[in-house]
Structure 1
Amino acid sequence: MEIAPFDLERWFAEVEPDADIMLAESGVRPLPADRFDTDPGELGYVIPTAGDPEFRADVGALHDRTADETLFTCGTQEANLLAFLALADAHAVVVTPTYGSLTALPDAVGEVTEVPLEEPEWTLDPDTVAEAVRPETDLVVVNNPNNPTGRAHDEATMRAVYDVCEDNGTYLLCDEVYRMLAADPTPPVASFGRYGVSTGGFSKAFGLAGLRFGWLCGSAAVVAAAENWKDYTTISPPKFGQHVARQAFERREELLAENRELAAEHRSVVVDFLEERDLSWSDPDCGVNAFVEVPEGFAGGRSFCRSLVEEASVVLAPGEAFGRPEYFRIGYGLHREELEEGLSRVGSFLDRHA
């Protein structure tokens, strides 16, 4: 099996270590460890290796699934990998733009047809998905709320896509890592029925990326197939991650309310900046990501982002990493002082290149 280099992660690996400000981080600013009990006891394997059954039952219940229909993973990234290994074979339909692995992983094991969101509102048309689905289609893949645009697809849209999948005997895999940042989250796809599979985790909405703790929810057969593959990847989720994740889950109303407030306040800061600079964006309605059009005078997102990091030591994500070279992704979930300093440097950079 061959897989393409992960363009976004290779970009970050190249420029982030030496840069002053990371203005492309896709999650909420990390919470300090001292807000939690950080002593999990002995650092052995999590037993059973699927994750603590009681905790799995609690997470599963949010998806109308049981403990046996819930698998804990090392982040949402592993959850998605296991879903593709378990379910993808011949053909997948992937809604784009999206996080790079959601296209690259199914492409490594089969054929992929991309269905683009409809600009400028970045809406998803279920009829377009239906046209792309074939009799042999294993999976339809959606990231909701979407990364990089920050736009959320409503329940009616997602149920219409699920109906397309159900009629074809095709699974609908939805990466929902930003879902709980919404004030009124749409129901998870795993709750729709047999063919719904949801992945998520504590990295983005909770601001706990360092835990590397996520989950996959779906039918018992899907979870069993994913767990079979997990025996060959990480075996069990991290003991430390599960220990802190359980506390964060129990305090989720408090933590998510705090993070939603931060996301709303920081969105307003970015709106003011973009309006002052007359730059258009994807007008996100959930999460802390947005797609912004590349200013005039630059060949594309990578040209703009490279010039910016070299001159101003600020990292943005080039749109080429999402198949849209006319955009760049900005993340506004970082600490307020970093956000304001980063935008100030971007503004000065634009003044020099106007």
Structure 2
Amino acid sequence: MDIDPFELERFFARFEHDADIMLAESGIRSLDSSRFDSDPGEMGYVIPTNGDPELRETIGDDHGRDADEVLCTVGCQEANFLAFAATMGDHAVVVTPTYQSLYAVPEAFGEVTKVELEPPEWDLDVDAVADAIRDDTALVVLNNPNNPTGRYLSEETVRAVYDLAADNGSYLLCDEVYRLLAEDPLPPVSSLGEYGISTSSVTKSFGLAGCRFGWLAGPREVVEAAWNWKDYTTISPTKHGQHIATQALAQREEILAENRALADDHREKTRAFVERHGLDWYEPTGVNGFITVPDGFHSGISFCERVVEEESVVLAPGNAFGQPDYFRLGFGLPTEELEEGLGRLDAFLERHA
């Protein structure tokens, strides 16, 4: 088993620690721990190790699944890894561009066929998915809303992809970490039928990355197989993360209303920046803008390197997503930091106009 280096994480490792502003963060600004009771009591394992039954029931209610069809994990990254380990056979179909682990991990287990979203609208050709599915396809993989483009595929499109997968006896896995930042979230893929799997966490929509708490919801046989793999990874979710996540889900409506309002305000500020400099983007759902590289720069990585060297602002190069003509700008950070970061980008682009 071999896996490629995670290009985006390696890029961040070069610059993130010393830079002034992280304008590539892909989630909403972090909530302060003072908002919650942060004392979980005795710091033992979570028992049972698949997560608190009442919390799994709460998550299951939102995902069209029973408590026993939910597995609590250490972030969505682990949920995705366990889902791939549990379901991956010879072949998977992955819709790209997307977060690298969503194709790199299944490639470590078998063969992957990529189906590209089509710029500039980043729409999905369902017929292309149909053409990519083979008799030995174990699963189809979506990220909706999409990272990095911010495209939120319609319910009609997602259901069409689900039907293709189900008709082939393949699972549809959807990473839905940004779903709850949408004003009108689609039904989770796990609720569409026996072949639907949803993964998510409290990281992106709730602003609780430090909790490292996520989940997988789907068919019982997948959840049980993933739990078997989890015995060899983290064993249980974190006690502290589960304690905070339980409270956050109880405050769901209040927290999500605040975060959606922040995302809307910051989207407008970022739109103004894009328009000031004659750049292009597909206006996103969530807090990631995928923006065309300005004229005069060879690629996203050369542009992002110059920006961090001259302005101490970290952006995410589109090269890490297989799209060298773009860069990702995360506008979910605190307002003061976003405004400072956009101001530095303004100064940079004015110098290089």
TM-score range, shorter chain: over 0.9
Q: Residue 18 of structure 2 corresponds to which residue in structure 1?
A: 18
Q: Is the contact made by 2:89 and 2:136 (CA closer than 8 Å) also made in structure 1?
A: no
Per the TM alignment, residue 19 of structure 1 is displaced from its structure 2 partner at its CA by 0.1
Q: Residue 320 of structure 1 corresponds to which residue in structure 2?
A: 319
CA distance in 2, matches of 1:283, 1:185: 17
Following superposition of structure 1 onto structure 2, how do residues 95-134 of structure 1 map, counting pairs within 5 Å? 95-134=95-134
Following superposition of structure 1 onto structure 2, how do residues 166-181 of structure 1 map, counting pairs within 5 Å? 166-181=166-181
Query: Which runs of 5 or more residues in structure 1 are unaligned?
Result: none
CA distance in 1, matches of 2:345, 2:336: 14
Per the TM alignment, residue 352 of structure 1 is displaced from its structure 2 partner at its CA by 1.1
CA distance in 2, matches of 1:154, 1:186: 8
CA distance in 1, matches of 2:131, 2:138: 15
Per the TM alignment, residue 48 of structure 1 is displaced from its structure 2 partner at its CA by 0.1
Q: Which residue type is aligned with residue 267 of structure 1?
A: R
Q: Which residue type is aligned with residue 167 of structure 2?
A: D
Q: Residue 71 of structure 2 corresponds to which residue in structure 1?
A: 71
Query: Which runs of 5 or more residues in structure 2 are unaligned?
Result: none
Q: Residue 335 of structure 1 corresponds to which residue in structure 2?
A: 334
Q: Secondary structure at the match of 1:298?
A: coil
Per the TM alignment, residue 282 of structure 1 is displaced from its structure 2 partner at its CA by 2.0
How many corresponding residue pairs?
A: 353
Q: Residue 207 of structure 2 corresponds to which residue in structure 1?
A: 207
Q: Which residue type is aligned with residue 347 of structure 1?
A: D
CA distance in 2, matches of 1:134, 1:320: 29
CA distance in 1, matches of 2:283, 2:264: 12
Tell me the alpha carbon deviations over residues 114-163 of structure 1, each in whole angstroms, 9 at most, x when there is no partner.
00011111111211100100000011000000000111011111000000
Q: 1:57 and 2:57 equivalent?
A: yes
CA RMSD of aligned residues (A): 0.5
CA distance in 1, matches of 2:127, 2:324: 26
Following superposition of structure 1 onto structure 2, how do residues 148-297 of structure 1 map, counting pairs within 5 Å? 148-284=148-284, 286-297=285-296
Per the TM alignment, residue 351 of structure 1 is displaced from its structure 2 partner at its CA by 1.1
Q: Secondary structure at the match of 1:215?
A: strand
Per the TM alignment, residue 274 of structure 1 is displaced from its structure 2 partner at its CA by 1.0
- Which deviates more from structure 2 when the two are superposed, residues 255-264 or residues 122-131? 122-131
Runs of 4+ deviating beyond 4 Å = none
Tell me the alpha carbon deviations over residues 191-236 of structure 1, each in whole angstroms, 9 at most, x when there is no partner.
0111100000000000000000000000110000000000000000
Per the TM alignment, residue 92 of structure 1 is displaced from its structure 2 partner at its CA by 0.6
Per the TM alignment, residue 45 of structure 1 is displaced from its structure 2 partner at its CA by 0.2
CA distance in 2, matches of 1:55, 1:221: 20
CA distance in 1, matches of 2:323, 2:130: 23
TM-score (norm 2): 0.99
Per the TM alignment, residue 13 of structure 1 is displaced from its structure 2 partner at its CA by 1.0
TM-score (norm 1): 0.99
Tell me the alpha carbon deviations over residues 23-82 of structure 1, each in whole angstroms, 9 at most, x when there is no partner.
000000000000000000000000000000011011011111011000000000000000
Q: Secondary structure at the match of 1:256?
A: helix
Q: Residue 30 of structure 2 corresponds to which residue in structure 1?
A: 30
CA distance in 2, matches of 1:125, 1:255: 35
Q: Is the contact made by 2:85 and 2:226 (CA closer than 8 Å) also made in structure 1?
A: yes
Per the TM alignment, residue 240 of structure 1 is displaced from its structure 2 partner at its CA by 0.2
CA distance in 1, matches of 2:233, 2:282: 36
Q: Residue 5 of structure 2 corresponds to which residue in structure 1?
A: 5
Q: Secondary structure at the match of 1:292?
A: strand
Q: Is the contact made by 2:93 and 2:140 (CA closer than 8 Å) also made in structure 1?
A: yes
Report percent identity of matched pairs. Answer: 65
Per the TM alignment, residue 288 of structure 1 is displaced from its structure 2 partner at its CA by 0.1
